[in-house]
Structure 1
Amino acid sequence: DPDCAVARSLCLAVDPDLLVTVNAMTAGYVVSNSSVSSALQPGTPTRPGAGQVAAASWLNRLRALAHRICVAPTVYAEADLDALQRVNDAGLSATAANTAGDIVDQILGVTSTRGATLMADGPLTKRAAELLNANGPTVAIAAAGFSGNDSVSGAPATADVAPRRVSPQVIAAPFDPAVGAALAAAGTDPVAPTYLDAALAVRLRHDSDAARRQDALGSMLWRALDPRIPGRTQILLPPAVWNLQADDAHAILTTLATTIRSGLAVPRPLSVAIADALAFGQGPQQLTSHTAARGRFDDEVISKITVDVGRLWGLTSALTADVRSGLTGVQYTAPLREDMLRAVSQSERPETRNGLAHQRLDIVGNTIDDLFGAVTIVNPGGSYTLATERSPLPLALHNGLAVPIRVRLQVDAPPGMAVTDVGEIELPPGYLPLRVPIEVNFTQRVAVDVSLRTPDGLSLGEPVRLSVHSNAYGKVLFAITMTAAAVLVLLAGRRLWHRFRGQPDPADLDRPDPADAMPMDHGLGSAERDRTPDRRVDEEHRV
C-alpha cells in the first residue's frame, strides 16, 4: 500500500469495554481457583493471573497501529440499543452512547473519529433511534432494510444505502446487509447477524471455510464488476467479533486493494462518509420496531436491569468523594453499570444471549445487595441501662464501602421515649461511634428498633433491635426529689433560726449531755468499774 489508499479506506472499530479490561489487566489481576458458578462470589480463593505481560504487549501493539490508521469507537460493550431503550434509564443509555470515544482516546492516546454510531450486529430500530436522538447528533451506520426479492416484480432486490434522516438528531447511513452477512460468515466461527431477513438465511456450516471466504470476496466485488450499475458509497461493516484466520484477512485486504488500484473503487475515509451523510441526508424515514425473536433480550432481562440500575443510582446519589483517594461515588459504582451493558451485549451469539444475560445480572444483583448490606449498625448483642432520663443512646455505625456515604438514622421508639433527630450523617469508611440524644419518661425494659437509610429513603444493612432498661421516673421522681429538698431546707432553716436566737432546738431535748454520757474512769479496771455506782443523767438540762 505505497500510496496509503487502502489505509485511507479502512477504520479500526474498537470496543471501549475491551480497552478498559485489557488496560486493567496490565496492572495485574487475579483469577478464581474454582470453576463453578460460586467462583465469581466475594471471598472465593484466587491466584494471580498469568496474562499481564500478554495484555501489555497486545495493548502496545494496538496503540502503535492506532497512530497509523483511523480509529472509531463502537457502542460500549456492543450493547443492544433497542434493549437499553426498553430499560429507559438515561444514565445507562448515555454511558453506552456517549462515553466510548473519550475512553478510546484516553487509553490509546489518539483522537478517534467521532460522529458515527456503529451498529454491526443488529438493526436500527425505532427504539434505538429514539435513544440516539436523546444523546445528541450522530450518523447511525446500520444495515439497510432488505427483504430478498422486490415486492412488485419479484426480482432480486437491491438494498437502498442512501443516507436518510430518521429523527431530528439521527441520520442513517445504511450498509448492504447481504454484504455484511457474507463478511460475518467468513472465518472459523460464522454467524448470521440478527439484522438479516429470514428469507436470506443460509446454512453456514454447510459450506467450507474456503467457500465462505469466496462468498465474502464476491459480495465485495459484485457491484463493482457490473458497469451498468451506478456508483454509490459502499460501507463494509463486519461483525464486532470477527474470528478471521490469517488467510481470510489477507484475502479480504488484497481484494480491497485490487479493487482500488484497478479503478473499480475509490477510497473514502470514514470522516468523509459521515460528512456526506450529514450533507445529503434524505428524510424523514419512519422506522419500525424490530419484532424478530432471534437475538432479542426477553422481558425478564429488561426488568432485572430496570430494578437493579434504579437501586444502584439511589445508592450512588448517597455516596460522596473520598478525600484520601479522590474516588467518587459515580466512579465507585461504574463497574456495575458497565456489567449491565455487558449483559445486553450483541457480541454474543443470538442463541446464547439471554442465558448469559441472566447469569451476569444475577451476579450484579447479588453485588448490589452486598453494597447495601455493607453499611449497617453494629449490633451490641446485650442491653443498655440508662442512668438518667436524658442519658444518650450509644450506637456504632459501620461503613464497609470504599467511599463515604450520607445516611439518616431511623429510631422506632416506644411511647414515652422522645428521640432527637441527629439529621444527615456522613459516614466515612470504617466505624463511627454515635450518641443519640433521647428523653425517657418511664422505668422499664423496652425494645428499640434502629435502622439506617439513605437520604432518599433506601434501606441500608439490617435493622437492629436494642434492649434498653431505663431507671428514669420522669415527673414522679422530679416531684419527690423537689419535695425532699424543700423539707431539708425547712429543717436546716429551723435549726439555724434557734441557734441565732440562742435557744435549744426542740429536736435535741431527748438527747443525753455529751459530757455525762462519756464515762470518766477510763483508767479503772473492770472490777473497779463494776463497783462504781451507776451515774445517771440529770433530768435538768444545762443552758
Structure 2
Amino acid sequence: MSVRKLVCTAAVAAFLLTVTAPAGAVEQSQTDQADALPFMPAPATQVWATRTLSAQPGQQQPQFLRLDIAQLTPRFVTSDSPGTVKITGKIVNVGDRKVSDIVLRLERGESLDTEDDLRKALREPAAAEFVQPNFTKVADHLEPGQQKDFTLEVPLRGPEPTSLAIEQPGIYPILANINGRPDYGGQARLAALSTLLPVLGVPGGETRGKPGAPAKLTVLWPVADRPRLVRLGGPGQSELVDDELVTSLSATGRLYGLLQAYEQVISSMSTSMCLAIDPDLLRTVQAMSTGYRVRGAGEGKGKAEAKLWLDRLGLAVKGRCVVALPSADADLVALNRVKLTNMRTLALTDGPKLIQQVLGVQPLPDFVWPEDGVLDQSTFDELVTPQPDQKYAGMRSVLLDPTGLADAPGTAPVGIAGQHPVTAVKVDSMVSDALQGSASRPRTLSGVTTPVESQPVSVQNALSVLVFRAGWQGDGRNVVVTPPRRWNAPLSEMTEFLNAAQRLLSSGYATQLSLEELTGSTPSVTNAKITYPPEAGAREIAPAIADSVTQQSVELSGIVASMQQEDSEHAAPADLADPLWLGLLRAMSGAWRSDEEGARSATYISQGELNSLTGMVGVTPPSSPILLGSGDSPIPVTITNKLDVRVTVRIVLADTPGIRKLDLPDQVLPARGERVVRVPVEVLRSGRFPVNVRLTTPEGVALGDTVKLEVSSSAYGTITVIVTVIAAIALVLLSGRRIYKRVRARNGENGGEAPSIENVTPEKSSA
C-alpha cells in the first residue's frame, strides 16, 4: 500500500472573526471508514497546531481548507429557543490543490456536569464524538482560492439522522467537522471548530430547575488601552505616538463597542455593572477632543470621534459605579520592586481626581484592581499604608484572582488581617479566564506554540461557564466577572455575553450584587493571606526597562529639587514635572507585560521628554573667542533658563591643562531669564585653551548641552610669576657661588695673599 499523504487543518473559527489551524489526522466519514487516526479538534480556548503522520517534527503543516463561521444560533439554549441549531459561514480552499467531496456535520459530546470537567474543556477540547450525525454535503469540490458559503441547520433533539439528540439540560461540547478529499490524498478532516453549547432548557423538553440560592452576579467592565500619549498641551498642541485611537473610538471600533455594549444593558443591570476606567486613556481622549498632533505625521484626525465618545461616556456613568484603574494601568508590583514609591502613589491618586474632574463622578474610594489580579506581599504592605503627605489614604479593598490568595475558601469577600485590614473581593477565575482565552497565557502542545486565540470563541465558552455557574451551582455563590483589561471582542460578542447575563437575571437563576456592597461587607473569613504566583512574576516588566525608568526618575527628582516657583504668576515645579512622571508611568504600564519592545519604545519617549525639559536650561555659546587680560581674569559664561520656574544651577568646567577652576557658588537663574556669570579661574600658562563647560543641578543632573569655549591668554598666572622669580634668585645665587670659588682658588695660587683688584685678570679662554 503506498504511503498516503495525510494532511489536515483545524480551525478555531471566531463568530465574526476568522482563524485557521493545521489539521491532525484522518477522520472516518460516511464514504471512507478505513485508516482512521486520532484527531484533536481546535479547542474553545486556544488554537492548537497538531501534526499529521506524514509531517516531520518541526515541518510546516500543510493547510487545505479554512472554516469561517459567521453565526451560531442559538448561543444559549432555553425552553423557548428554536428547536434547531443553525450555523452559517463559508469554507475557503487555502491550499495548493483541489479538494473534493466537502461535507460538514455537527457532533456533540456528553454533558460536562462538574467544574473540573468544564475547566478541562477550557484548556483543551472535550471529546465530541458521543453523537455523530450524518454529514451534509457543502460542495462537490473547491479549487485553490475558491470559497463556498454554507448554512447548516440541525435539530437539537429527535430521531433525525442529523440531530444532536439533546434530551436534557447540560453544557455540551460541540464540534463543527469539515471533511474533504484533497488531490493525492484520502478523505480526511480538514477543518474543525470546537466550542461549548449551554442548554438550560430543551425546547419541548426538560428545563433545569432554579437553584434555591441564585448566583450573585457582579461585572467589572474595563475601559482601557495601551498608552499612546507623548505630550499633553493646549488645544492642538498635545502629541500622540500614533493615530490608532481614531479607529477604536469610531462606530466600528473597540472602545466604541465597549461603551455601546455597556449602554445597552445598564438600565437592566445597573446594580451589577461597574466601569473600570484607565485615567490615562481618559486624559488622552480628552486631549484628542481639543485637537492634537501625531508624532511624525502632523495633525491628528480623531477630534470629532474623541469628543463624541467622551460625551457619551460622561452621560453613561452619571450616578453609576466607576472604579479607577492605576493611571496608565501601571504595574504596581514592578514599581514596588524598584522602589519607585512616589510613582506608585501617583498611579493610585491621579485617577480618582481626573475621573471626578472630567466625568463628574466619584470613583469607588480606596479600591485597587492590580494587573492580573495579583500582588506580592511587599507591594500589598506598601499599598495599605497611608501617606498623608501625598494625600494617599491607603488601600482598603482590593480585587484579586483566587490564585493571589491563600486560606480564602468560598467565593465571598475575605479579610486580610494587619495593622490596616483589607477586604479582598475574589474574581470568578473560570468565567474571566474563559473570556481572556490564551491571548495572555499561551500554552504549547507537542512543541508548537499556540497563536493568539480568537476572542469571540472565548466569549461563547465564557457564556457557557456563566450558565453553568447559575444553573448548576445554585449555592448563592458570588460570580465576579472581569473581561480582559484591553478586551478586543466585537460588539456583537460583548452583547451576546451581556444578554446571556440579563436572561439569567430575569429568569431568577442569578441576582445582581454591586461592587460597593462587596467591598463594604464584613468578611466572615479574616485570616486570608497574599500569595504571588511564579507565572505572574515571569510576566512582569523586564528588569532592563525598570532600570531605565529608575534612572530617569532619579534625573527628574534632581531637576524638581532645583526648581522654585518664581511668583504666583509663574508655573509651579509640579506643573512641569507631573506630565513627565505620568510619562514614566506609561513606560511601566501593565500593557507591556510580555511586550518588551512596546515598553522599550515607551522609555525612549519618556527619555526624550525628559531631555526636552533639561535642554531648556543651559550655557549659551559665545559668538567669539574669549581673551583673558591677566592670569586671574574670570571667564564670562552666559547661562539661560527658558523654563517658567526659577532654577538653581551649578557651572561645571571640565579639567583643562593650563587652567584651574576656582570655587564658585551655585547660581539661581530666574524664570525665563539669562545671566552672565564670571567664573573665577587661574591661568597656569599662556596660550589658547578649549574649555568645555555645562550646567548641572546641585544634585548633579546634567542640564543642556556641553559648550566648548575658546579661551586665549598672553598673561602669566601667579604660579608662573612665582616660579620665574624663584628661578632668577637661584640663578643669582649659583652665579655668586661660582665667582666665590674662583676667587678662593686664585688666592691659593698666590701663597695665601689676598690679591689686589688690579692683580685679578680675567682668564684667557683656551684655543
Tell me the TM-score normalised to structure 2 length. 0.51
Q: Choose which of 430, 452, 461 in structure 2 pairs with 1:178.
A: 430
Change in CA separation of 1:325 and 1:11 when aligned onto 2, cut-off 3 Å: farther
2:490 is equivalent to residue 238 of structure 1 = no
Contact preservation (8 Å) 1:77, 1:342? yes
Q: Give 1:331 deviation, angstroms.
A: 2.7
Post-superposition Cα deviations, 1:338-395, rounded to whole Å, max 9, x if no partner, equal: 23322232235x54x2121112212323443443344221232643334567765422
Question: Are the counterparts in 1 of residues 622 and 709 from structure 2 also a CA contact under 8 Å?
Answer: no
- Matched with 2:282 is 19
> In structure 1, what is the Cα distance between the partners aligned to 2:652 and 2:341?
31
Q: Which residue of 2 aligns with 1:357?
A: 599
Which deviates the most, 84-93 or 289-298?
Answer: 289-298
1:421 aligns with 2:667: no
Instruction: Look up the SS of the partner of 2:275 in the other structure.
Output: strand
Q: 1:223 aligns with which of 469, 479, 491?
A: 469
Please give the secondary structure, in 1, of the residue aligned with 2:498.
Answer: helix
C-alpha separation in 2, matches of 1:288 and 1:121: 11
- Residues 401-423 of structure 1 show CA distances to partners (whole Å, capped at 9, x for unaligned) of 45442212245698897846343
Indicate if the aligned counterparts of 1:416 and 1:441 stay in contact, CA closer than 8 A: yes
> Which residue pairs with 1:65 in the alignment?
316
Q: Distance in 1 between matches of 2:680 and 2:265?
A: 84
Q: Structure 1 residues 439 and 397 mapped into 2: Cα distance closer, same or farther (>3 Å)? A: closer
In structure 1, the residue corresponding to 2:637 is in which secondary structure?
Answer: strand
Which has the larger Rg? 1
Partners in 1 of 2:419 and 2:701 — Cα distance?
38
Verify the 8 A CA contact 1:13 1:72 in the aligned structure 2.
Answer: yes
| Residues 414/173 of structure 1: CA separation in 2 closer, same or farther (3 Å cut) | same
Distance (whole Å) between structure 1 residues aligned to residue 574 and residue 491 of structure 2: 42
Identity %: 23
Q: What is the aligned partner in structure 2 of residue 541 from structure 1?
A: none
Larger strand percent: 2
Task: Decide which of 291, 294, 297 is 1:28's aligned counterpart.
Answer: 291
Q: Is the Cα contact below 8 Å between 1:8 and 1:267 reproduced in 2?
A: yes
Letter in 1 for 2:343: L
Q: 1:7 to 1:472 in 2, by over 3 A?
A: same
Q: Secondary structure at the match of 2:485?
A: coil
Query: How far apart are 1:316 and its partner, in Å?
Result: 2.0
User: Could you say what secondary structure the match of 1:224 adopts?
Assistant: helix
- Gap change, CA 1:443 and 1:249, over 3 Å in 2: closer
Preserved contact between residue 411 and residue 478 of structure 2 (Cα < 8 Å)? no
Q: Select which of 260, 266, 276 maps to 2:505.
A: 260
Partner of 2:579: 335
- What TM-score comes out, normalization by structure 1 length? 0.70
CA contact (8 A) 2:323 2:364 kept: yes
Segment drifting more, 110-119 vs 88-97? 110-119
SS of the aligned residue for 1:244 comes to coil
CA contact (8 A) 1:175 1:234 kept: yes
Do the aligned partners of 1:29 and 1:48 also contact (CA within 8 Å) in 2?
yes
> 1:392 & 1:298 partners in 2: Cα distance?
49
CA contact (8 A) 2:368 2:395 kept: no
Write the letter of the residue equivalent to 2:358: I
Report the equivalent of 1:314. Answer: 558
For 1:121 and 1:441, the matched residues in 2 are separated by 64
Distance 2:272 2:625 in 1: 76
Q: Name the SS for the 2:698 alignment partner.
A: coil
Contact residue 454 and residue 460 of structure 1 kept, 8 A: yes
Unaligned runs of 5+ in 2: 1-263, 387-393, 722-767
Within-5 A mapping of 1:137-536: 137-145=395-403, 162-165=413-416, 168-169=419-420, 170-185=422-437, 191-192=439-440, 209=456, 211-226=457-472, 229-276=474-521, 279-280=523-524, 282-288=526-532, 290-292=534-536, 295-321=539-565, 323=567, 326-347=570-591, 350-351=593-594, 353-380=595-622, 382-387=624-629, 393-401=635-643, 403-411=645-653, 419=662, 421-429=664-672, 432-436=674-678, 438=680, 444-445=686-687, 447=689, 450-461=693-704, 462=706, 464-469=708-713, 471=715
- Which segment drifts farther, 240-249 or 118-127? 118-127
Deviation per CA, 1:241-291: give whole Å up to 9, x if none. 122323223222222223333333332222111111x55451141423634
Code of the aligned partner of 2:462? A
State the one-letter code of the partner of 1:55. A
Structure 1: stretches of 5+ with no match in the other structure: 33-38, 40-45, 148-157, 478-543
| Residue matched to 1:99 | 350
Q: Match for 2:598: what amino acid?
A: L
Rounded to whole Å, the distance in 2 between the matches of 1:144 and 1:106 is 34
**Does 2:297 align with 1:52?**
no
Contact map agreement 1:9 1:267 (CA 8 A) in 2:
yes
Tell me the secondary structure at the aligned position of residue 452 of structure 1. strand
| Counterpart in the other structure of 1:83 | 334
Counterpart-to-counterpart distance in 2, 1:68 and 1:386:
73
CA distance 1:289–1:314, shift in 2 (3 Å): farther
For the aligned residues, what is the CA RMSD?
Answer: 3.8
Instruction: State the distance in 2 between where 1:246 and 1:378 align.
Output: 57
Task: State the distance in 2 between where 1:423 and 1:3 align.
Answer: 61
Mark the CA change 1:417 to 1:182 in structure 2 (over 3 Å): closer, same or farther.
closer
* Residue of structure 1 equivalent to 2:77: none
Distance of 1:193 and 1:71 partners within structure 2: 28
Separation in structure 2 between the aligned mates of residue 216 and residue 64 of structure 1, nearest angstrom: 29
Aligned equivalent of 1:10: 273
Task: Please give the alpha-carbon distance, in whole angstroms, between the structure 1 residues aligned to 2:675 and 2:495.
Answer: 67
Inter-CA distance 255–204: structure 2 relative to 1 (3 Å threshold): farther
